[in-house]
Structure 1
Amino acid sequence: MTGPMTTDDLRKAFSEQLMGLRESVIQPLFDAADGMRADLRARGWSEAVIDPVVAAWLAATLAKIAGGGK
C-alpha cells in the first residue's frame, strides 16, 4: 500500500493530465484552425481577413471548452 501523494507527486500527475489534454483536445483545434486558414487562403481570401477570422473562431472554441459549452 502506498502512502499519501506528495506535492511533487501531485504536480507531476497534474502536468501529465494537462499534457494529455493538450494532445487530445487543444492540438486538434489548432490543427483545424490551420486547415481553416489554408482553405480560406485557397479560396482567395485576403491575409488581412484570414487571421482575424481564424483567431476569432479559435478563441470562441477554446472559450466554449473552458466554459463547458455555456
Structure 2
Amino acid sequence: MFGPKTPTVDEQRQAAAEAGMTALTLLTPLFDTADGMRTDLLRRGWSEPIVEHIAGAWLASVLVQGVTG
C-alpha cells in the first residue's frame, strides 16, 4: 500500500538474468585478454605453471581494480 511495490519472483528472476548478462558482457574482454596473455607467454617458451600464475594474477588485479575503482 505504501512505498515501492515489491517485485514478483518472475521480475526478480528477470532482473538477475539481466545483471548476469551485463556482467558477462563486461568481463568477457578481460577473460579474452588473460587467455591471449597466456597463449603468448606459452608461445614464447614460458613454463605452464608460471604462465598460469602470471595470467591469473593479472586477471585478479584487474578485477580488483574494477571493484575498488
Please give the TM-score of this superposition, normalised by the length of structure 1: 0.76
The alpha carbon displacement at 1:57 in A equals 0.4
Q: What residue number does 2:42 align with?
A: 41
Q: What residue number does 2:60 align with?
A: 59
Return the index of the structure with the highest Cα Rg: 2
Cα separation, 1, equivalents of 2:55 and 2:19: 27
One-letter amino acid matched to 1:53: I
Any runs of at least 4 consecutive aligned residues in structure 1 with deviations exceeding 6 A, and if so which? none
Cα separation, 1, equivalents of 2:19 and 2:56: 26
Cα separation, 2, equivalents of 1:38 and 1:50: 9
Count of residue pairs brought into register by the alignment = 64
Secondary structure of 1:53's partner?
helix
Consecutive unaligned residues of structure 1, counting only runs of 5 or more, are none
The alpha carbon displacement at 1:7 in A equals 4.0
Correspondence list, 1:1-70, <5 A: 4=5, 5-22=7-24, 24-67=25-68, 69=69
Secondary structure of 2:46's partner?
coil
Cα separation, 1, equivalents of 2:21 and 2:64: 19
